Structure 1
Amino acid sequence: MAEWVEVEVAYALPHKQRILSVKVEEGSSLLDAVRASGIEGEFPELDLTQAKFGIFGKASRAPEKDTVRQGDRIEIYRPLLIDPKQARANRAAKAAAKSDNG
């Protein structure tokens, strides 16, 4: 008899966020759980073959192999628009320019 675990699948856009609960068989992969959640129906533009995943903020390198555990929150990450280091450099340059003019 199969054992079941309950996990959450989370995805967010700037204007819309969803966290869906789903029960999957113990030993299911992150990708299996995400597909079982039906989140693609809420976000038709979401391409699970290209998306990055993680559990509670820890990135998964192999979502098709990593298995879920009871209570996990699987997060689907959007692609970054700008490299975080570049974003910090831009903010620092802007702050420096403001203090020079101020």
Structure 2
Amino acid sequence: MPDSGSLNIFVCWSPQPRQVFECPLEVPVGSTVKSAIEQLMAAGAPEALPADLAKLPFMQPGIWGRKVTWGHRLQAGDRLELYRDLKVDPKVARRQRFKRQGKGRTGLFANRKSGVAAGY
């Protein structure tokens, strides 16, 4: 049970696809996102978190799926998440999947009128 001057939060990050780490952390009231990560690093965070704090500003922090700034103040029960950069734009990936599946076999275009071009 935390004392009156501390908050319980969870810190989550994913160093690579299909691998997620979650760590409970007790931080002082009024802590920011950056100070919570620094405290986690000082406490001996797992090696999956970037060891160099200089890399952290390039990661996007968020709380419960919403982007926040590094100076955002934390509240009790927050789930602090660190997002890594996307390797592929989701729109490009969807276009590539659609191209592989074929235009006329799936989704909205499976049942088309005879004599009509695919996609219409």
| TM-score when normalising by structure 2 | 0.68
Report the Cα distance in structure 1 between the residues aligned to 2:59 and 2:10, rounded to whole angstroms: 17
Question: Whose RCO is larger (CA < 8 A, sep 6+)?
Answer: 1
Report the Cα distance in structure 1 between the residues aligned to 2:45 and 2:87, rounded to whole angstroms: 21
Q: Whose helix proportion is higher, 1 or 2? A: 1
| Number of the residue aligned with 1:43 | 48
Report the Cα distance in structure 2 between the residues aligned to 1:44 and 1:17, rounded to whole angstroms: 11
| Number of the residue aligned with 1:32 | 35
Which of structure 1's runs of 4+ aligned residues deviate more than 6 A?
none
1:78 paired to 2:84: yes
Higher Cα radius of gyration = 2
Deviation string 1:15-69 (CA, Å, 9 cap, x unpaired) is 6431111111111111211221237542254621211110111111x22x11111
Report the Cα distance in structure 1 between the residues aligned to 2:24 and 2:96, rounded to whole angstroms: 38
Q: Given residue 6 of structure 1, which amino acid in structure 2 is its aligned partner? A: N
Q: Which runs of 5+ in 1 are unaligned?
A: none
Report the Cα distance in structure 2 between the residues aligned to 1:76 and 1:21, rounded to whole angstroms: 14
- For the aligned residue pairs, the C-alpha RMSD in angstroms reads 2.4
Q: Percent identity?
A: 25
| Number of the residue aligned with 1:22 | 25
Partner-residue secondary structure (3-state), 2:56: coil
Q: Which runs of 5+ in 2 are unaligned?
A: 106-120
The answer to whether the 8 A contact 2:9-2:80 is kept is yes
Partner-residue secondary structure (3-state), 2:102: helix
Q: Any residues of structure 2 matched to 1:55-74 within 5 Å, and which?
A: 55-60=63-68, 62-63=69-70, 65-74=71-80
Partner-residue secondary structure (3-state), 1:94: helix
Partner-residue secondary structure (3-state), 1:88: helix
Query: How much has 1:98 moved relative to structure 2?
Result: 8.2
| Number of the residue aligned with 1:91 | 97
Q: Given residue 67 of structure 1, which amino acid in structure 2 is its aligned partner? A: R
The answer to whether the 8 A contact 2:50-2:56 is kept is no
| Number of the residue aligned with 1:52 | 60
